Structure 1
Amino acid sequence: MDAILTPAGLLQRSAPATDAPRRRPTREEAEAAVRTLIAWAGDDPTREGLLDTPKRVVKAYGELFRGYDEDPHAVLDRVFEEVSGYDDLVLVRDIPFQSHCEHHMVPFVGKAHVAYYPAEGVVGLSKLARVVDIYARRLQTQETMTAQIVAAIDEALKPRGIAVMIEAEHMCMSMRGVQKAGVSTLTTQFTGVFRDDPTEQVRFMTLVRSK
């Protein structure tokens, strides 16, 4: 499916040219697919050590990709408007996450830093970390994940500005292909005052890097 950019700035996959609902495979079909991959890799899926592996893999997938069953907008639906006049930057940094590359289905892991300038209210700080986790627990690209986090916060809070930075190491670079371990990929997206005022970007970066 193709990627499209919505007015909110959220990268989405366009739907296939059909109205037919997407059928989710059964657990039995998923386990059969794992057995096929084991055999394709060159091993025997019926040997003792691998006999229960398909069940374990399917269960693990339920945990690793639970973000498909979670709604980030529901997480951000409670906005606190009584903040005693606070209108300065809110930053939650060093949010750890684990995701999977949609191109090779191998992990990429890292940290997200999320900041915004309140306009109509604030959300609980843990909610920002939850939004990161929901989008991370899907097949992803780092660029799309960055845009999705920004769009979800923008829709829920209508803040005066949002800044999101994600830094991660991709196993598709360290385990395969060029095999360069320790390489870090950094993505950012800014809206509102962060986009329009370079000094706000500098302030964000400084706060993220300060320890």
Structure 2
Amino acid sequence: QDRSQLIQVEGLDNLRQALSQGRGVLIFSAHLGNWEVASWAISSFTPLHVVARPLDNPLLEKELLKMRQALGARVISKFLAARPILRALQAQESVAILIDQNVLRSQAVFVDFFGLTAATTPALASFHLHTQAPLLPIFCLMTPERRYLVKIHPPLSFSASKAAEPEALLQITQVLTKMIEQEIRQYPGQWLWFHDRWRTRPADGK
């Protein structure tokens, strides 16, 4: 079926603005609406890589990989992600990461998410500070007409000195997490909350 019959893209100029910087684009989103369909829309305008954890079942993983490739996405395993992400950005391509999942304490910064402290990956903020690839929030929501609305927000950019980087990683990750929270508050029924988002606690237990 023709994409235009299923998908409405809002904010395409924001994607074009991000791409025009010539540094690649770091897309972030959440398990909200249909994030897989977003690939179908975005890959029409930029080569797209998605970072994902391989499924434990190899047969299901094979089928999921085929589906993602059919939707225009190239898949990067989260376990071997750093070099492929940097290569994609150097080639002025786009990389998408969902950042609304719990992570291990050793891999986390702790930010506020719906009023509770949540262990969150700072990887996206780190790639941004080291490459200056713009951060681009994109969400794909189901509409009452049973179509999809892909919302592309304006690109974000931050900078920090080497000495200030640890605090910057925390602050940037907090900004991105709050944007996700705001989107979920608008469409709470479309957030796929399939794990304990707040499972990992800070060392002080707060």
TM-score bin, normalised by smaller chain = under 0.3
Name which one, 1 or 2, has greater alpha-carbon Rg.
1
| TM-score, length basis structure 1 | 0.25
Relative contact order, higher structure (CA 8 A, sep 6+): 2
| TM-score, length basis structure 2 | 0.25
